[in-house]
Structures are given as structure tokens and as C-alpha cells.
């Protein structure tokens, strides 16, 4: 049980450390806060909340994975290497795709509400 609880402690420490040290996750978290506020103001449906929550999780978790990959690559090599760049770019690309899809979903959810 102690190892199980420690795993939560380490995971939470990783999340907090990333929030403190990484600019992009702060931007994503600000977007989450804005979406939550808009969701409350525009009284989005339960399904729309579920979609938002899933997208929050995808964007934030992909940003955490991106940070882990970037740190691992930097740990392995400080030299400019093509494979290191590919790994970092692919991880950043995953975040970009999730963020882009989230923006499209936001437009689909809020545009009709804002126009009316």
C-alpha cells in the first residue's frame, strides 16, 4: 500500500514541477480556466462538459508527456542530433494536434451560443 500511495505522490510532484517550470502548460491551464468560466456562463450541457473534460485531459497529459520526452532527450544528449530533434518535434506535434482539436471543439460548442 505504501508503494501505491508513493506513486501518487511522485505523479503529483511531476505535475506540480511541470506547472512551475514549463510555460506552455501554464498557457493550457489558463485556457482550461477560461473554458470552465465560459461553460458556466453559457450553461453548456452535460455532454459538452464531458467533451471539455476529455479534451482538458488530452491536452494537459500530452503536455506532461512532451515535457518528459524533452527532458529525457536532454538527459541522453546535449549535442544537436537529428534523432533527438525528431523525438522532441514529434512530442510537441502531439500537443499541437490535441490543442488544435480542442480549439475546433470549442468553436463548435460556443459559436452557436455566442451568436444567439
pLDDT in tens, 25-45: 999 999 999 999 999 999 999
| pTM exceeding 0.75 | yes
Q: What is the pLDDT of residue 116?
A: 80
Distance between CA atoms of residues 90 and 55, nearest Å: 19
The percent of residues in the chain predicted with pLDDT above 70, rounded, is: 100
Collect all residues with Cβ–Cβ distance below 8 Å to 29 and sequence separation of at least 6: 19, 60
Taking only Cα atoms into account, the Rg of the chain, rounded to an integer number of angstroms, comes to 17
Helix H or strand E encompassing 3: helix 2-21
Domains of the chain as residue ranges with CATH:
23-115 (1.10.287.3610)
Q: What is the pLDDT of residue 78?
A: 84
- Annotated catalytic residues are 63
Q: CA torsion sign, 83 to 75 to 10 to 88?
A: negative
Amino acid at each position: 500500500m505504501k508503494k501505491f500511495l508513493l506513486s501518487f505522490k511522485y505523479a503529483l510532484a511531476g505535475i506540480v514541477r511541470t506547472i512551475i517550470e514549463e510555460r506552455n502548460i501554464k498557457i493550457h491551464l489558463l485556457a482550461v480556466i477560461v473554458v470552465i468560466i465560459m461553460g458556466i456562463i453559457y450553461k453548456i450541457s452535460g455532454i459538452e462538459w464531458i467533451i471539455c473534460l476529455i479534451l482538458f485531459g488530452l491536452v494537459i497529459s500530452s503536455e506532461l508527456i512532451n515535457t518528459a520526452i524533452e527532458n529525457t532527450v536532454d538527459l541522453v544528449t546535449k549535442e544537436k542530433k537529428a534523432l533527438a530533434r525528431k523525438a522532441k518535434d514529434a512530442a510537441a506535434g502531439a500537443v499541437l494536434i490535441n490543442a488544435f482539436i480542442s480549439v475546433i471543439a470549442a468553436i463548435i460548442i460556443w459559436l452557436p451560443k455566442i451568436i444567439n
